[in-house]
Amino acid sequence: MNMFTVLDQAAARFPDRGAVFSGTEQVANWAELRDRARRLGAALRARFGPGARVGVASENRPEIVELMFGIWAAECVFVPLNFKLHPREMADILADCDAATVFASPKLAGGLAGAGVGPVEVLGTDGYAEWFAGEPGAAPDTDPEELAWLFYTSGTTGKSKGAMLSHRNLMAMTVAHLADFDDPDENAALVHGAPMSHGSGLYIPPYVLRGARQVIPASGAFDPGEFLDLCEQHPGAAAFLAPTMVGRLVATGRPRPANLRTVVYGGGPMYVESLKAALDAFGPVFVQLYGQGEAPMTITGLRRADHLDADGGWAPDEVLGSVGHPRSGVQVAVWRPDGTPAEIGEIGEIVCRGDVVMSGYWNNPAASAATLAGGWLHTGDMGSVDARGNLTLRDRSKDVVISGGSNIYPREVEEVLIAHPGVTEAAVIGAPDPEWGEVVVAFVVAGGSAPTPAELDAHLLDRIARFKRPKRYVFLDELPKSSYGKVLKRELRERL
Ligand code: AMP
């Protein structure tokens, strides 16, 4: 089984329906998309052979869809690059996986060539068109354990590692999405707000399998107004968005677009106050995922219905602040440092296993052995499970602040800071301290007139234990974030 199958099946069922759109303009129907993927597949296979790693460096563009399936049709490996990386960082990744070639958008091609990468195939050129000029290849018949996608981690903690995702992993992710979260059909659309090199791209297969159109904003970026317009213009709109993107939609003050059906959010913390504001603005269209590149998009989740209580109001804060239940086909546990299971409510490391979990990191046996020790994926995230089986995520284990021997989970302090009316964003880290080991420092983005440290202290003391209070507040205009919307705590530490 090769992931190309999902396109093959959609094209057989819905040949004439629109498959890929740039904004509101149709770029290809399903038969055309399959044909292009098969031609590209034959050309890649002839040039590089099965198993070759093929890089894709581009802001969101329609070609990414044909590249993904064309690379799979060739039985090659799709290696998308975060388009906001420095060209040298991209060059490092391409060298790490010994990529046979890289397809790049005109915007990024020059930077890559400048960083010594070659050859670079530039999208939209005559050279690109040549890849589609030959005969279409046959549909591949591939061992599902073969590598399909090298998913380079965001590298917020150091050098980026390539999580090896097989066709089986991606099919497990696809099936779990359709089982747990969304039920699209040929009258639905996946609108790519977030980068297709990451979360939004991983959602392409489930929507393609059901014949749901792929909509790529013409700007290639996330513009809240453009995104909401597209969710009016296309039927049955669904999207994956980082929590910060959801916040930007809410800030437009616009109502829910008539066709917006599903917003999957995740990849970073969604604070309870922000989630309630989003639910108030757009209604119960939200679904939360907790996952990581190593178990793509699929560890636990909160369904639409989990956001509601029995009377139709919003669910209690402890549910909205959780990451929900294990996803279909995934076993999730919380372990103590000695590997024994934690009690209900006890915080430990989150581990999981199932068909969705990667086989290891590319060319990195030491990291693979540590992360997959005992056959479980060690997520590096800390959390606890309540009596109803809901998982609450605390923080990455390396982000936990240990002050005077007590563990302080930044997320808990951030949740309370965010609930202050004068605070729009907050990030909490530990700073080295000779007396306490570490002390809590809060970076705060204020909306309107900034609250004073004394006011924030009073607000926190009303709600959480005194020892969790920040010893210092730093006011910023904005928090440093990756292009995937993750707050870069490493940069905050460097600033101190
Ligand atoms: P990545 O592999 O780049 O997608 O990053 C995965 C990490 O993002 C996870 O290990 C978590 O630390 C974090 N993360 C993912 N989903 C959530 C979520 N729903 N809430 C909070 N953090 C999340």
**What DSSP assignment string belongs to 433-467?**
ETTTEEEEEEEEEESSSPPPHHHHHHHHHTTS-GG
Q: Is 286 in the pocket of ligand 1 (CB under 6 A)?
A: no
Task: Calculate Rg over the CA atoms of the chain.
Answer: 23
Q: Is 269 in the pocket of ligand 1 (CB under 6 A)?
A: yes
Distance 296 CA to ligand 1 centre (A): 10
Neighbours of 63 (CB within 10 A): 21
Query: Taking each helix axis from N to C terminus, what angle separates 30-48 and 4-13, rounded to the nearest 10 degrees?
Result: 150
Query: Taking each helix axis from N to C terminus, what angle separates 272-282 and 243-251, rounded to the nearest 10 degrees?
Result: 50
Average pLDDT over residues 440-444: 96
Q: Which tokens go with 162?
A: 């390539």
Distance 297 CA to ligand 1 centre (A): 9
Write the pLDDT tens digit of every residue in 248-266.
999 999 999 999 999 999 9
Domains (ranges, CATH) in the chain?
A: 4-385 (3.40.50.12780), 400-495 (3.30.300.30)
Tally of helices (H runs) and strands (E runs) in the chain: 17, 24
Adjacent-strand bridge partners of 487 = 481
Q: Is 379 in the pocket of ligand 1 (CB under 6 A)?
A: yes
Ligand 1 atom at shortest distance from the alpha carbon of 156: 3
pLDDT band at 115 (very low <50, low <70, confident <90, very high): very high
Q: Is 154 in the pocket of ligand 1 (CB under 6 A)?
A: yes
DSSP letters for 71-101: HHHTT-EEEEE-TTS-HHHHHHHHHHTT-SE
Q: Is the pLDDT of residue 268 over 90?
A: no
Q: Is the pLDDT of residue 156 over 60?
A: no
Instruction: Identify the helix (H) or strand (E) that includes residue 6.
Output: helix 4-13
Distance 34 CA to ligand 1 centre (A): 33
Q: Is the pLDDT of residue 187 over 80?
A: yes
Q: Give the residue from 268, 276, 251 showing the smallest Cα distance to 199.
A: 268
Query: Which is higher by pLDDT, 28 or 447?
Result: 28
Distance 486 CA to ligand 1 centre (A): 9
Q: Give the residue from 176, 263, 324 showing the smallest Cα distance to 315.
A: 324
Write the pLDDT tens digit of every residue in 309-343.
988 899 999 999 999 999 999 999 999 999 999 99
Q: Are 301 and 290 in contact (CB under 8 A)?
A: yes
The predicted pLDDT at position 158 comes to: 59
Angle at 372 between CA 366 and CA 377, to 5 degrees: 140
Query: Which is higher by pLDDT, 487 or 16?
Result: 16
Distance 381 CA to ligand 1 centre (A): 8
Average pLDDT over residues 84-88: 88
Q: Are 201 and 195 in contact (CB under 8 A)?
A: yes
pLDDT, the chain, mean: 95
Q: How far apart are CA 435 and CA 227, in angstroms?
A: 50
Neighbours of 440 (CB within 10 A): 22
Write the pLDDT tens digit of every residue in 356-396.
999 999 999 999 999 999 999 999 999 999 998 999 998 88
Helices (H), 60-166: 63-73, 87-96, 106-114, 126-130
Q: Which tokens go with 124?
A: 């939209």
Write the pLDDT tens digit of every residue in 465-496.
888 999 999 999 999 988 778 899 989 998 88
pLDDT band at 2 (very low <50, low <70, confident <90, very high): very high
Nearest CA owner, ligand 1 atom 15: 267
Q: Is 195 in the pocket of ligand 1 (CB under 6 A)?
A: no
Neighbours of 114 (CB within 10 A): 11
Q: Is 393 in the pocket of ligand 1 (CB under 6 A)?
A: yes
Ligand 1 atom at shortest distance from the alpha carbon of 266: 19
Q: Which tokens go with 256?
A: 């829910």
